[in-house]
Amino acid sequence: MQHIIEGFLNFQKEIFPQRKELFRSLASSQNPKALFISCSDSRLVPELVTQQEPGQLFVIRNAGNIVPSFGPEPGGVSATIEYAVVALGVTDIVICGHSNCGAMKAIATCQCLDPMPAVSHWLRYSDAAKAVVEKKTWANETDKVNAMVQENVIAQLNNIKTHPSVAVGLRDSTLRLHGWFYDIESGDIRALDKNSKTFVSLSENPDVYFE
């Protein structure tokens, strides 16, 4: 904990004074253009990977970057999506998975989650991705896990389209969806292409999006 406190003290002394005007402008309002939904994994930092300033990304993070389908009793993820689209007017939503995801590895390798019943229940929202991956034979565990991560991104993109605010945005062409796979070791991002339905290099295809 001490290093976290020391980090804050350094921010307060060195960083904040240099960015005082930015934070003053953000004190009363925010105007992010994108909602970024990612895994809670400590190795993936959305603002760092995308080089965005405070106020530019509205972020949801949870185990497995999961978006439950819209239902009669919306939870925190649903409420945050609705707020981002309706109140903040974001124009893009990114769902970003990452290599070696612990949540997806647990599903792909059938790890026992009995000691973590809440996690087990939560990961059922990735059943569609598991069904696709289990139909194939994989050369090794790494390939299977990364395939699971990518299929899970696709599954969550399909889930988010059931949310009324998102459906309206897509209908009115005021909103676009993006599916990303971030490779921790290489720093590369592969994005889901709406035409080929495959993940392609974002650096080589910067205009690619899902829908």
**Tokens coding 30:** 């925010």
Q: How confident is the model at residue 76 (pLDDT cuts 50, 70, 90)?
A: very high
Residues 7 and 74 in one domain: no
Residues 155 and 135 in one domain: yes
Q: What is the DSSP string of the chain?
A: -HHHHHHHHHIIIIIHHHTHHHHHHHSS----SEEEEEE--TT--HHHHHTPPTTSEEEEEETT---PPP-SS--HHHHHHHIIIIIS--SEEEEEEETT-HHHHHHHTT---TT-HHHHHHGGGGHHHHHHHTTS--SSHHHHHHHHHHHHHHHHHHHHTTSHHHHHHHHTT--EEEEEEE-TTT--EEEE-TTT-SEEETTT-TT----
Residues 42 and 3 in one domain: no
Residues 118 and 184 in one domain: yes
- pTM of structure: 0.95
Residues 25 and 89 in one domain: no
Residues in Cβ contact with 57 at an 8 Å cutoff, skipping those fewer than 6 apart: 32, 34, 35, 36, 46, 47, 50
Confirm if 187 and 204 have CB atoms less than 8 A apart. Answer: no
pLDDT at residue 111 tops 90: no
Residues in Cβ contact with 50 at an 8 Å cutoff, skipping those fewer than 6 apart: 36, 57
Residues 131 and 185 in one domain: yes
Residues 85 and 16 in one domain: no
Residues 46 and 145 in one domain: yes
CA separation for the pair 155, 194 (Å, rounded) = 14
CA separation for the pair 54, 112 (Å, rounded) = 39
User: What pLDDT sits at residue 72?
Assistant: 87
Confirm if 98 and 44 have CB atoms less than 8 A apart. Answer: yes
110 belongs to an annotated ligand binding site? no
Q: How confident is the model at residue 91 (pLDDT cuts 50, 70, 90)?
A: very high
* Number of folded domains that form the chain: 2
Residues 68 and 159 in one domain: yes
Residues 119 and 162 in one domain: yes
39 belongs to an annotated ligand binding site? yes
197 in any annotated domain: yes
112 belongs to an annotated ligand binding site? no
Residues 23 and 46 in one domain: no
Burial of 7 (0-12, 13-18, 19+ CB in 10 A): exposed
pLDDT at residue 73 tops 90: no
Residues 89 and 11 in one domain: no
Mean pLDDT of 91-119: 94
CA separation for the pair 7, 15 (Å, rounded) = 10
Measured CA to CA in angstroms, residue 208 lies from 88, 97, 178 at distances of: 24, 17, 8
Mean model confidence pLDDT for the chain = 96
Mean pLDDT of 57-73: 96
Provide the residue range defining the domain that includes 195.
Answer: 32-201
Q: How confident is the model at residue 110 (pLDDT cuts 50, 70, 90)?
A: confident
